[in-house]
Amino acid sequence: VRYATWSIIMDSVVPSDKGNYTCIVENKYGSINHTYQLDVVERSPHRPILQAGLPANKTVALGSNVEFVCKVYSDPQPHIQWL
């Protein structure tokens, strides 16, 4: 856990981090607070998912440049290979 001026930063949260976190701000005129609720859910591993609309076929003029984009959502980090 790291604390910054306006925030609390928690890296690599685990299920036991679940709970309420309260920020209290005070000065000589009074105080305010807000409680944040943190839920930690485990993601199920899945195969990579292609971004909607991709890949897209292309037709180009002779001598033109072309770019193919293969964007995916994946956890863990995917291995991308062009053949």
**What tens digit of pLDDT does each residue of 30-62 get?**
999 999 999 998 877 888 888 887 778 999 999
Mean pLDDT of all residues in the chain? 90
pLDDT of residue 42: 83
Contact 47, 53 (CB under 8 A): no
Cα–Cα distance between 70 and 48 in angstroms, integer?
11
pTM metric for this prediction: 0.53
pLDDT band at 65 (very low <50, low <70, confident <90, very high): very high
Q: What is the mean pLDDT of residues 11-17?
A: 93
Polymer length of the chain = 83
- CA dist 73 and 55 (Å) reads 13
